[in-house]
A and B are shown apart, each in its own frame.
Chain A
Amino acid sequence: MAGAVAVVFAALLLTRTVGNEYVFFAGYVVLQFVVLATAWNILGGYAGYVNFGSGAFFAAGAYTSVALIQAFEAPLLVQVLAAAAVAGAMGFLVGALTLRLRGIFFSIATVAIAVICETVVINWSFVGGARGIAIFQPEAPAAFVSYNRMLFVAMTCFAVLAVGLARFVESSWIGRGLRAIRDNEEAAESVGVPTLRLKLVAATLSGALMGVAGAPFPLYMSFIEPVSAFSLNYAVSALAMPLIGGTASWLGPVIGAVLLGTAQQVVTVTVSSELNVLVVGLVLVGFVVAAPQGILGLAQRLSGRGGASR
Chain B
Amino acid sequence: MPPELLIEAIIAGLLLGCFYAAMSIGLSVAFGLLDVPHIAHPAFLVLGAYGVYLLGQQGVDPLLAGALLMPVFFLVGLSLYRFYHAVFERRGSDAGLRGLAFFFGVAFIVEVALILAFGVDQRMVDAPYIGDSVRLADMRLPTRMLVAFAVALTLTVGLSLYLSRTFTGRAIKAVAQDQTALALMGADPIRVKQWAFGIAMGTCALAGALLIIVGPVEPGLGRLYIGRTFCVAVLAGLGSMPGTLAAGLILGVAESVVLTSFGASWAPAVAFGLLLLVLAVRPAGLFGR
A residues near B, CB below 8 A? 44, 48-50, 52, 97-98, 101, 103-105, 107-109, 111-112, 115-116, 119, 122-123, 182-184, 232, 236, 239-240, 243, 247, 274-275, 277-278, 280-282, 284-285, 288-289, 292
A278:B116 contact, CB within 8 angstroms: yes
Interface status of B127 (Cβ within 8 A of chain A): no
Interface status of B108 (Cβ within 8 A of chain A): yes
Segment touching A, from B46-54, B132-140, B263-271: B263-271
Q: How far is the CB of A122 from chain B (nearest CB, A)?
A: 7
For residue B31, which residues in chain A have a CB less than 8 angstroms away from its CB? 104
For residue B226, which residues in chain A have a CB less than 8 angstroms away from its CB? 108, 111
B94:A292 contact, CB within 8 angstroms: yes
B102:A108 contact, CB within 8 angstroms: no
Q: A111-B226, A115-B227 are in contact. List 16 more A-B contacts (CB 8 A).
A: A48-B96, A98-B279, A101-B279, A101-B283, A105-B279, A107-B100, A109-B276, A111-B223, A111-B272, A112-B273, A236-B108, A239-B101, A247-B97, A281-B108, A284-B101, A284-B108
For residue A184, which residues in chain B have a CB less than 8 angstroms away from its CB? 93
Q: How far is the CB of A293 from chain B (nearest CB, A)?
A: 8
B93:A112 contact, CB within 8 angstroms: no
B100:A104 contact, CB within 8 angstroms: yes
- Cα A109 to Cα B97 in complex, Å, equals 15
What are the 3 closest A-B residue pairs judged by CB atoms, nearest first?
A: A112-B272, A285-B105, A281-B108
B106:A285 contact, CB within 8 angstroms: yes
Q: Can you offer 27 A-B residue contacts whose CB atoms are under 8 A?
A: A49-B97, A97-B279, A101-B279, A103-B97, A104-B37, A107-B37, A109-B272, A112-B269, A112-B275, A115-B223, A115-B268, A116-B269, A119-B269, A182-B93, A182-B94, A232-B108, A239-B101, A243-B98, A277-B108, A278-B109, A278-B112, A278-B116, A285-B105, A285-B106, A288-B98, A289-B87, A292-B98
Q: How far is the CB of A168 from chain B (nearest CB, A)?
A: 22
| Interface of B (DSSP majority class) | helix
| The residue from A105, A112, A182, A278 contacting B113, defined by CB atoms under 8 A apart | A278
Q: How far is the CB of B250 from chain A (nearest CB, A)?
A: 17
| Interface of A (DSSP majority class) | helix
Task: Given the known inter-chain contacts A103-B96, A111-B226, please indicate yes or no for A288 contacting B276, CB distance below 8 A.
Answer: no
- Cα A122 to Cα B263 in complex, Å, equals 13
- Cα A112 to Cα B93 in complex, Å, equals 26
B265:A122 contact, CB within 8 angstroms: yes
Which residues of B (196-245) have their CB < 8 Å from a CB of A?
223-224, 226-227, 230, 234
Q: How far is the CB of A147 from chain B (nearest CB, A)?
A: 33
For residue A247, which residues in chain B have a CB less than 8 angstroms away from its CB? 94, 97
Q: Which single residue of chain A is at the shortest CB-CB distance from B277?
A: A97
Q: Which single residue of chain A is at the shortest CB-CB distance from B271?
A: A112
Q: Which single residue of chain A is at the shortest CB-CB distance from B276?
A: A97
For residue B90, which residues in chain A have a CB less than 8 angstroms away from its CB? none
For residue B116, which residues in chain A have a CB less than 8 angstroms away from its CB? 274-275, 278
- Cα A285 to Cα B109 in complex, Å, equals 9
For residue B273, which residues in chain A have a CB less than 8 angstroms away from its CB? 112
Interface status of B165 (Cβ within 8 A of chain A): no
Interface status of B91 (Cβ within 8 A of chain A): yes
B112:A119 contact, CB within 8 angstroms: no
B residues near A, CB below 8 A? 31, 37, 39, 87, 91, 93-94, 96-98, 100-102, 104-106, 108-109, 112-113, 115-116, 223-224, 226-227, 230, 234, 265-266, 268-269, 272-273, 275-276, 279-280, 283
B265:A112 contact, CB within 8 angstroms: no
For residue A50, which residues in chain B have a CB less than 8 angstroms away from its CB? 97, 100-101, 104
Give the most central of B37, B112, B234, B275: most A CB within 10 Å.
B112
- Cα A224 to Cα B84 in complex, Å, equals 39
B94:A239 contact, CB within 8 angstroms: no
| The residue from B101, B234, B266, B275 contacting A288, defined by CB atoms under 8 A apart | B101
A183:B93 contact, CB within 8 angstroms: yes
A112:B100 contact, CB within 8 angstroms: no
Q: Which single residue of chain A is at the shortest CB-CB distance from B38?
A: A104
Q: Which single residue of chain B is at the shortest CB-CB distance from A123?
A: B265
- Cα A282 to Cα B111 in complex, Å, equals 12
For residue A281, which residues in chain B have a CB less than 8 angstroms away from its CB? 105, 108-109, 112
Give the most central of A101, A111, A112: most B CB within 10 Å.
A112
For residue A236, which residues in chain B have a CB less than 8 angstroms away from its CB? 104-105, 108
- Cα A236 to Cα B39 in complex, Å, equals 14
For residue A183, which residues in chain B have a CB less than 8 angstroms away from its CB? 93
A112:B101 contact, CB within 8 angstroms: no
Q: Which single residue of chain A is at the shortest CB-CB distance from B269?
A: A116
Q: Which single residue of chain A is at the shortest CB-CB distance from B224?
A: A115
| The residue from A98, A275, A277 contacting B276, defined by CB atoms under 8 A apart | A98
- Cα A275 to Cα B283 in complex, Å, equals 40
Q: How far is the CB of B23 from chain A (nearest CB, A)?
A: 15
- Cα A1 to Cα B147 in complex, Å, equals 67
- Cα A235 to Cα B269 in complex, Å, equals 19
Q: Which single residue of chain B is at the shortest CB-CB distance from A289?
A: B87
Task: Given the known inter-chain contacts A97-B276, A115-B272, please indicate yes or no for A48 contacting B97, CB distance below 8 A.
Answer: yes
